[in-house]
Structure 1
Amino acid sequence: MTLAALTAIYFVHLAAAISPGPAVLLAARTSLREGFLRGTWLAVGIGLGACIWAAAALFGLAVLFRVAPALLSVLKLVGAAYLLYLAFKMWRHAPEPLETDLPRLPRERSALRLVWLGISTQLANPKPAVFFGTIFLTFIPPHAPLWAYFVILCMVFFNDAGWNVVVARIFSLERTRTAYLNLKTVIERVFGGLLALLGLKLALT
């Protein structure tokens, strides 16, 4: 496994990680509503979810989809339903006032729950499954050593978690937050609408 191969894998995945999707939308929304710390915990979950897909691809996900293509269709429908559910919740609660005081991780939004939300959002989205099961694997030599797999998984976590931490930081800034509070209902429904469109696109393609 050469440095050039690892570099190629890093940048190909980085491009996928920064492309807009449900994970980025949720990182932005969480940070707007609840601050940078909560957005960071969500980003950790997003990174772990990406690692699960990457590990599955490294150890046979592409083969499984070729043997049972219907599995991918089922996965897409389940993922679309989950995204539509999140979109419905955002739309429904958009007019509710937001508490401007940010207490430290209340029980209903604990660090563990935010990490799990990030993981489940990634696992419900077949886009990473398709990426890791196709494009991603083409950059990995057939007989790569185990240490290379470990390095690759670390890069995947760094890219996905790191990018969403950046998103969380941008959307947790006071100026951004003030603008959000002034336009909360509109912004929440825009986020919800975008998630709904992603879910519909997922179900119909």
Structure 2
Amino acid sequence: MEHLLPLFSIVVAIALGAISPGPSFVLVARTAIAGSRGAGLGTALGMGLGGLTFATLALLGLIALLAQVAWLYLGLKILGGLYLLYLGWRLWRGAREPLAVDTSGQAGQGAGQGFWRAALLGLVTQLSNPKTAVVYAGIFAALLPAQPLPLWLAVTLPAAIFTVEFVWYALVATAFSAGGPRRLYLGGKTWIDRLAGGVMAALGLRLVFEGARG
């Protein structure tokens, strides 16, 4: 029972971080509203897998090591920022391109492929931000007990983090793939895509600037 409180505290802290707007939210919302609910859920799955990866690395102590190796952390910041800049550029470049949206609700021939492509994109986007990794390390270091963890907690904690991340972004995907948000998007696609691309690029520039500044 003594380990239930740190488990609950870590899950709540990670959930609050996931709810905070950022590149992950922008990507899931835009994928769901511009593509399909399935693609949005695929992206949400990728976000959950990213959270699972960060939680596992935090338990293994690798993220704490990353925080101590300044040059590696700064290098990952720059690479992650460049990746977000690339995503922002792609959104901005394609803002004027017309979009054919399938509103039939039927799964097309490439639906499965699109789901897994979106999942991979979500995973890479989640892992591209090393600041998230350090946040995980800080939360785990502050809230986990110092003594060796029981096996059940070491297994339950990453699974709980995956569930929190996936469920939140699945809710985002479901909400933004509804008819109303989709019609709003189609009516203002150019400016919405440019706004989303600008947000991605700004976050990427911030990471690059922080990494270059050291």
Shorter chain as denominator, the TM-score bin is over 0.9
- On the 8 A contact 2:15/2:165 being kept in 1, the answer is yes
CA distance in structure 2 between the partners assigned to 1:48 and 1:75 by the alignment: 19
1:84 alignment partner in structure 2: 85
1:165 alignment partner in structure 2: 170
CA distance in structure 2 between the partners assigned to 1:150 and 1:135 by the alignment: 17
Query: Which residue identity is paired with 2:9?
Result: A
- On the 8 A contact 1:43/1:164 being kept in 2, the answer is yes
RMSD over equivalenced CA pairs, Å: 1.7
Name which of 129, 153, 156 aligns with 1:151: 156
CA distance in structure 2 between the partners assigned to 1:17 and 1:134 by the alignment: 15
Q: CA deviation at 1:93?
A: 0.4
Answering whether residue 131 of structure 2 is matched by residue 127 of structure 1, we say: yes
1:94 alignment partner in structure 2: 95
TM-score, length basis structure 1: 0.94
Q: CA deviation at 1:66?
A: 4.7
| DSSP 3-state at the match of 1:134 | helix
Query: Which residue identity is paired with 1:136?
Result: F
Give structure 1 stretches of 5+ with no counterpart: none
Q: CA deviation at 1:34?
A: 1.1
2:122 alignment partner in structure 1: 118
Answering whether residue 182 of structure 2 is matched by residue 177 of structure 1, we say: yes
- Residue by residue over 1:50-82, the C-alpha shift from the partner in whole angstroms, topping out at 9 and shown as x without a partner, is 111111111012442254221110110000000
Give structure 2 stretches of 5+ with no counterpart: none
Aligned residues: 205
| DSSP 3-state at the match of 2:149 | coil
Answering whether residue 58 of structure 2 is matched by residue 57 of structure 1, we say: yes
CA distance in structure 2 between the partners assigned to 1:67 and 1:6 by the alignment: 25
CA distance in structure 1 between the partners assigned to 2:172 and 2:165 by the alignment: 11
CA distance in structure 2 between the partners assigned to 1:117 and 1:105 by the alignment: 20
Query: Which residue identity is paired with 2:130?
Result: P
- On the 8 A contact 1:62/1:134 being kept in 2, the answer is no
- On the 8 A contact 1:38/1:105 being kept in 2, the answer is no
Note closer, same or farther for the CA distance 1:156–1:180 as it changes in structure 2 (3 Å cut): same
CA distance in structure 2 between the partners assigned to 1:171 and 1:109 by the alignment: 21
Note closer, same or farther for the CA distance 1:32–1:68 as it changes in structure 2 (3 Å cut): same
| DSSP 3-state at the match of 2:21 | coil
- On the 8 A contact 1:32/1:180 being kept in 2, the answer is yes
Note closer, same or farther for the CA distance 1:40–1:53 as it changes in structure 2 (3 Å cut): same
- On the 8 A contact 1:65/1:72 being kept in 2, the answer is yes
CA distance in structure 2 between the partners assigned to 1:161 and 1:100 by the alignment: 24
Note closer, same or farther for the CA distance 1:67–1:100 as it changes in structure 2 (3 Å cut): closer
Query: Which residue identity is paired with 2:117?
Result: R
